Structure 1
Amino acid sequence: MPQLTLYPPSAHVVFHGGNLIFSHEVEKAVHDIHAACRGIGTDEQLLTKALGNKSPETRNLIAVRYHQLHHKTLESLVKGEASGSYGKLLRMIATPLQETEARLLLDATKGSGTNETLCIQILAGRTNEEMQILRNTFFNKTGKDLSVVMNSEITGDFRKIVMAILQAPQISYDPQIHHLQRAEMDANELYKAGQGRLGTNEEKFIRVLVESPPQHLKLIDDVYYQKHHNSIVKAVEKEFSGDAKMCLLCMVQLALDPFPTIAKMFEGAMKGFGTDELILSTALVRYQKYLPYVQTAYKQIYGKELRHRIKGETSGDYENLLLTILDAPQDPEYTGSSASQPGGCYQQPPPQYPPQQYPPQQYPPQQFPPQQFPPQQYSPQQYPPQQYPPQQYPPQQEANFQQYPPQQYPPQQYPPQQYPPQQYPSQQYPPQQYPPQQYPFQQYPPQQY
């Protein structure tokens, strides 16, 4: 399947310079949020309903519209109204997703340590356009280049992978380019860079994985398994370690099997002693548009409902907001936004749906009456005879040839020439033997005279 897109359509519209139009639902939600935060105290239930029970596209439009009407960000409003895990989650859904990710990356790289897990989950498995939106947003909010910040905060193979993700764009899938022969070449290159040599050629290994679109990476994985009886995931586990291994595994697994991979992210945030509420909140907000598929995958893997698992690990307003987001409606094909550009409408990126299978269509044979055309008659062409005037040439005069008397030359006498006799060595050649020639007997018919 193609790579997952996380940002709502309106984020892509703004990135391409389009204009947004807001529906009545968006206008009402902005009014309700402003009323909930007016005066002393906060109506948490109203905030939860106004923001949590919205699709990603509607929620993004609410944040944009609130800033237009009240000249302050919705995030700054809710930041002072709620605290703790509930307040952090409320800030996430009150902010456009690209701005939330930019702030999370900045927080993850500040201070004495780096939250590598959060950086990996945000950066791995992104489309070229959404990576560019994220980098632009990070620069606009912080005044810093994301590549420079990440390069200064991490080291080793992990830094090589992150720099490749940020700077080497993924090649768009093209069946004319990403065919079986190309997959065999890339699979051999991966093997020679990893398991087929002593040590690992990290740059070559990383380049193949980063540049390959998901459809092509799946084909590489099939070829790799057929030739070397091993998967790319197993190869990564053998050749890398630490954060580098975790980052490559996240990127490869999101491309090959995205929904079970996301389901494992949820379980990883909740297993063990205590719950990593930041990772849980981030995963829920970022992958909201795919939650129906993720919940199905989670139940297949762990035999329980994701909703029940979250309910057992959280409590209070935070639990209520998590479950509200989990049950929020999904974006319809057409949302409360539209984009316009000079000369026409902006075409939004297509939504991601699982592949549909339809029965083959059978159509009755078409019969067309024979076409009859009247015979064409052409009149003969008649041209008038051509008359040319007679040509007159002046008389030619014969050339006057010169006559010369015959020339007489005295006879020439030359002395006889004497040459010494020439002696040449006698040539000896071996006798030549030729096979006897046999010719077929020719029979001629008797001649009659």
Structure 2
Amino acid sequence: MASIWVGHRGTVRDYSGFSPSVDAEVIRKAIRGIGTDEKTLISVLTERSNAQRQLIVKEYQAAYGKALKDDLKGDLSGNFEYLMVALVTPPAVFDAKQLKKSMKGTGTNENALIEILTTRTSRQLKEISQAYYTVYKKSLGDDISSETSGDFRKALLTLADGRRDESLKVDEHLAKKDAQILYNAGENRWGTDEDKFTEILCLRSFPQLKLTFDEYRNISKKDIVDSIKGELSGHFEDLLLAIVHCARNMPAFLAGRLHQALKGAGTDEFTLNRIMVSRSEIDLLDIRAEFKKHYGYSLYSAIKTRKRTCDRKGHSRKNFNEAQLEQKQ
């Protein structure tokens, strides 16, 4: 059965001639020698699919009696360590950890919460919730509840439940009905009925929402984006706008997030690495194409000019993100 974490437009695919025992040994040598052979780590871990990396993890544990991620943590540092550990982490666990990190400490990273919960499928979200409970012995919903509030909290919890319809079929009658409900909940009344927005935008399938937004324009003579901006505010507004963008073009939405992460004085490593790792087997080819289309230069050049992963001597090393972008379309 095909994995729910693998799409058809990723830059990473199964490596042919794969041998987990050979790879485990090569990795062991790369991290046990004098100094770390980062080049070897990059070439092995970026050219294997996550499913293959999980087999390497098992083989490594069996052969050396140690967890590969612990050895990587002990031998590496900084963003390079973070990336290599991310690559040997199962996707649902990786997302669970990203969500935890978004809610840990003072302040919440709302953008990260929004991005993860709007771009994962219902089945993926169910796996993430299970992984979250396994790793932290707390439910994802409880942590979201204690870290957020109001309509934003309500919408996040609805998304985290993984109840969005995943059907590709669209129902024209339902689209007209939902569009009217949205119009009556916002533009056509004094005040806003936020619950109706949450219910429709967080539970309908993306193809269904696209049709609903077309019907909405027919009824209200306005784009749903403009209505959301006029009727709502704060993180709740940000979340619903993210859903609209994902329904219309998810790769373009994620390309926008990468552009934000790479511009300005410093790189937002947390966002950059999360999107590159989590989408590398799903739709990174499409994200890359949207980036070029919208910003006029390639994602590869944007990362190359902004990022260098350095070893202890300060020599620049090509990192995972660049490696993914060198894959041919």
TM over 0.5: yes
- Counterpart CA distance in 2 for 1:6 and 1:320 is 29
- Counterpart CA distance in 2 for 1:70 and 1:189 is 60
Q: CA deviation at 1:74?
A: 2.4
Per the alignment, do residues 70 and 277 of structure 1 end up closer, same or farther by CA in structure 2, a change over 3 Å counting? same
- 1:327 — aligned with what? 326
- 1:16 — aligned with what? none
**TM-score under structure 1 length normalisation:** 0.65
Q: CA deviation at 1:329?
A: 7.6
- 1:226 — aligned with what? 218
Residues 87-129 of structure 1: CA distance to partner in whole angstroms, max 9, x if unpaired?
2112211211211111122222121211111121111132221
Per the alignment, do residues 192 and 60 of structure 1 end up closer, same or farther by CA in structure 2, a change over 3 Å counting? farther
Residues 226-252 of structure 1: CA distance to partner in whole angstroms, max 9, x if unpaired?
221222222222222222122222222
Of 292, 296, 299, which aligns to 1:303? 296
- 2:120 — aligned with what? 126
- 2:100 — aligned with what? 106
Q: CA deviation at 1:325?
A: 2.8
Counterpart of 2:294 in structure 1: which amino acid?
A: I
For the residue of structure 1 that corresponds to 2:32, the secondary structure is coil
Equivalent pair of 1:63/1:94 in contact (CA under 8 Å): yes
Identity rate, percent: 30
Matched, 1:259 2:259: no
- 1:152 — aligned with what? 146
Per the alignment, do residues 319 and 205 of structure 1 end up closer, same or farther by CA in structure 2, a change over 3 Å counting? farther
Counterpart of 1:297 in structure 2: which amino acid?
A: E
Of 17, 37, 40, which aligns to 1:46? 40
Q: CA deviation at 1:40?
A: 4.5
Equivalent pair of 1:55/1:329 in contact (CA under 8 Å): no
Equivalent pair of 1:120/1:250 in contact (CA under 8 Å): yes
- 1:204 — aligned with what? 196
Per the alignment, do residues 88 and 132 of structure 1 end up closer, same or farther by CA in structure 2, a change over 3 Å counting? same
Counterpart of 1:258 in structure 2: which amino acid?
A: M
Equivalent pair of 2:121/2:162 in contact (CA under 8 Å): no
Of 5, 22, 41, which aligns to 1:7? 5
Matched, 1:92 2:92: no
| 5+ residue gaps, structure 1 | 10-21, 331-449
For the residue of structure 1 that corresponds to 2:119, the secondary structure is coil
Q: CA deviation at 1:319?
A: 6.3
Residues 247-277 of structure 1: CA distance to partner in whole angstroms, max 9, x if unpaired?
2222221121112111111101011221111
Equivalent pair of 1:52/1:328 in contact (CA under 8 Å): no
- Counterpart CA distance in 2 for 1:145 and 1:93 is 24
- Counterpart CA distance in 1 for 2:253 and 2:224 is 15
Larger radius of gyration: 1
- Counterpart CA distance in 2 for 1:230 and 1:65 is 57
- Counterpart CA distance in 2 for 1:253 and 1:261 is 6
Equivalent pair of 1:54/1:328 in contact (CA under 8 Å): no
- Counterpart CA distance in 2 for 1:152 and 1:280 is 27
Which segments of structure 1 move beyond 6 Å, counting only runs of 4 or more?
Answer: none
- 2:76 — aligned with what? 82
**How many matched pairs?**
312
- 2:260 — aligned with what? 268
- 1:315 — aligned with what? 308
- Counterpart CA distance in 1 for 2:82 and 2:4 is 20
More helix by share: 2
Per the alignment, do residues 288 and 168 of structure 1 end up closer, same or farther by CA in structure 2, a change over 3 Å counting? closer
Counterpart of 2:174 in structure 1: which amino acid?
A: R
Per the alignment, do residues 288 and 58 of structure 1 end up closer, same or farther by CA in structure 2, a change over 3 Å counting? same
Q: CA deviation at 1:47?
A: 0.8
Q: CA deviation at 1:158?
A: 1.5
| 5+ residue gaps, structure 2 | 8-15, 311-315
Q: How does 1:312-391 map to 2 (within 5 A)?
A: 312-317=305-310, 320-321=318-319, 322-328=321-327
Of 137, 151, 171, which aligns to 1:179? 171
Counterpart of 1:85 in structure 2: which amino acid?
A: N
Equivalent pair of 2:168/2:205 in contact (CA under 8 Å): no
Matched, 1:293 2:286: yes
Per the alignment, do residues 30 and 65 of structure 1 end up closer, same or farther by CA in structure 2, a change over 3 Å counting? same
Per the alignment, do residues 24 and 296 of structure 1 end up closer, same or farther by CA in structure 2, a change over 3 Å counting? closer
Per the alignment, do residues 316 and 171 of structure 1 end up closer, same or farther by CA in structure 2, a change over 3 Å counting? closer
Per the alignment, do residues 72 and 119 of structure 1 end up closer, same or farther by CA in structure 2, a change over 3 Å counting? farther
Equivalent pair of 1:78/1:94 in contact (CA under 8 Å): no
- Counterpart CA distance in 1 for 2:324 and 2:77 is 18
Equivalent pair of 1:6/1:286 in contact (CA under 8 Å): no
Equivalent pair of 1:120/1:247 in contact (CA under 8 Å): yes
For the residue of structure 2 that corresponds to 1:24, the secondary structure is coil
Q: CA deviation at 1:139?
A: 0.7
Q: CA deviation at 1:30?
A: 2.2
For the residue of structure 2 that corresponds to 1:42, the secondary structure is coil
Q: CA deviation at 1:152?
A: 0.5
Per the alignment, do residues 202 and 39 of structure 1 end up closer, same or farther by CA in structure 2, a change over 3 Å counting? same
Q: CA deviation at 1:328?
A: 4.8
For the residue of structure 2 that corresponds to 1:173, the secondary structure is coil
